[in-house]
Chain A
């Protein structure tokens, strides 16, 4: 009787085509060898460390400046190629108008008040443009962060469920978002304005759901969030803003890299 080779037993172990099974049914020796092989290979395991749901963002941040010249729409817009003079001219023009139309920040108000009250943010092209710009970026960063919270809640909500708490938060965010969006345009951040608008539309969707959302309602919103990659965009924006706010000047850098 010809016994199985080690290679045949190995193929059987991996479920590949092998003639060993038939032989083993009548051969105790080969069956014992197969069991030993199986025991050995069953012990060979390798479980990769977990990466959390922000890993995609980390990879993207690490590679995006190493990609060849083809430009991203909203990321390219994060680092506008307009000259500083053009940007300053725009700020001056729009800021002048905005400064006349919008209420100014109360200089005595604490920073947290300025952050939490959308109407407190006024944009003008005066000597403290940079400080105002940072305030706008801070408020938008905070807004993205809170929007992330609501969107993530909806994405992870068990269905069906009571959405009234998320709807209240979404309604507050929508109310603030319109001003933030205008401010983003004023400070020449069209990409940010575009993402704010996308977020706003989804937040409005959430607001307009019946409080007792059905599985289908939730599914429709999730699909919309998912289809737009909205959470990812919000997180990229938050990441980018945090990086910029950590810099001495919040002016869009010519090259930004937050990770790697």
Chain B
């Protein structure tokens, strides 16, 4: 097992000691030092997740910070037998949902169809000479992701990028498995529609 201080995948590995529970107990008791160690151990994992859920660095940074603040406030509710990484994962997802909802509200208020996202219409007929196909795919995926509801987007990201099962996604989002499943279905359909023209491009 690597013992690098800043390797985050699991709390045990990241902290490199068997007493994650002790650190958590201290943090729950208001020990800022212990909480700082938890932040340090989990920040990079949280960022990767937040980025995949929100799709941009600025929002991901905000989500990470908000998640740790929320975790600190709720630490007294954390059950010692639970896994901190799993608990934090759920908080990051919830914060990302809030961020995406906020983004959606701003878009609706401004009647801006796609905030911070590339203009797909301008590149309906991409020139292979000017654009690499992967760039175009990325642009179209970004644009279609921006059109997803927060729930569709998060469900898709958790399933597609994070490899979470539909059951887990349902539990994380606090919805029925069938609702999580259909959120993924709808997301893929929209992405597929956005990518379809590329498939017919010679």
- Starting from the known contacts A6-B185, A56-B44, A68-B72, 19 additional A-B residue pairs (CB-CB under 8 Å) come to A11-B181, A37-B192, A40-B192, A40-B195, A43-B137, A48-B52, A49-B57, A53-B5, A55-B44, A56-B39, A59-B39, A63-B65, A63-B72, A73-B32, A75-B33, A223-B17, A225-B5, A229-B37, A230-B5
Q: Which 5 A-B pairs have the closest CB atoms?
A: A72-B32, A226-B16, A56-B40, A70-B30, A53-B6
Cα of A55 to Cα of B39 in the assembled complex, Å: 10
B188–A43 touching, CB < 8 Å: no
Contact A72 B191 (CB under 8 A): no
A217 interface residue (CB < 8 Å to B)? no
**A-facing mask of B53-89, CB < 8 A → 1, else 0?**
0010100100011001100110000000000000000
Whether the pair A71, B137 counts as a contact (CB closer than 8 A) is no
For the complex, what is the distance from the CA of A59 to the CA of B72, rounded to whole Å? 13
B72 touches A67 (CB 8 A): yes
Q: Are B37 and A59 in contact (CB under 8 A)?
A: no
CB of A75 within 8 A of CB of B47, answer no
Contacts A44-B141, A46-B52, A66-B69 given; indicate if A229 touches B192 (C-beta within 8 A): no
Residue of B nearest to A54 (CB): B6
Looking across the interface, which residue of chain A has its beta carbon closest to that of B189? Answer: A6
When distances are taken between beta carbons in the complex, the residues of chain B under 8 Å from A246 are none
* Distance between B153 CB and nearest chain A CB, rounded to angstroms: 12
| A-binding segment of B94-102, B113-121, B158-166 | B158-166
Residues of B within 8 Å of A44, CB to CB, are 137, 141, 160, 191, 195
Interface flags for B167-192 (1: CB within 8 Å of A; 0: not) read 00000000000000100110011011
- Which parts of B10-59 form the interface with A (CB within 8 Å)? 15-17, 19, 30-33, 35-37, 39-44, 47-48, 51-52, 55, 57
- Is A236 an interface position by the 8 A CB rule? yes
Q: Are B69 and A67 in contact (CB under 8 A)?
A: yes
Question: Chain A contact residues: over half helix, strand or loop, or mixed?
Answer: helix
Measured CB to CB, the residues of A under 8 A from B are: 6-7, 10-11, 14, 16, 36-37, 40-41, 43-44, 46, 48-49, 51, 53-60, 62-64, 66-68, 70-76, 155-156, 219, 222-223, 225-227, 229-233, 236, 260
Binding site of B, secondary structure by majority: helix, strand, loop or mixed? Answer: helix
Determine the chain A residues whose CB is within 8 A of the CB of B57 once the complex forms: 49
Q: A10's contact among B41, B69, B161, B185, by CB below 8 Å, is which?
A: B185
Q: Tell me if B188 and A10 are in contact (CB < 8 A).
A: yes
**Distance (Å) between the CB of B82 and the closest chain A CB?**
20
13 pairs, CB–CB < 8 Å, chain A vs chain B: A41-B188, A43-B134, A51-B47, A53-B4, A55-B44, A56-B40, A56-B41, A56-B42, A57-B40, A60-B36, A64-B36, A67-B72, A232-B40
The reply to whether A219 and B32 contact each other, CB–CB distance below 8 Å, is no
Q: Does B109 contact A (CB under 8 A)?
A: no
Nearest residue (CB) in A for B22 is: A227
> With the chains together, A67 CA to B184 CA distance in Å?
35
Cβ–Cβ contact B16 & A70, under 8 A: no
Is B199 close to A, CB under 8 A?
yes
List the B side residues contacting A260 at CB < 8 Å: 65
Report B53 CB to chain A, min CB distance, Å. 10
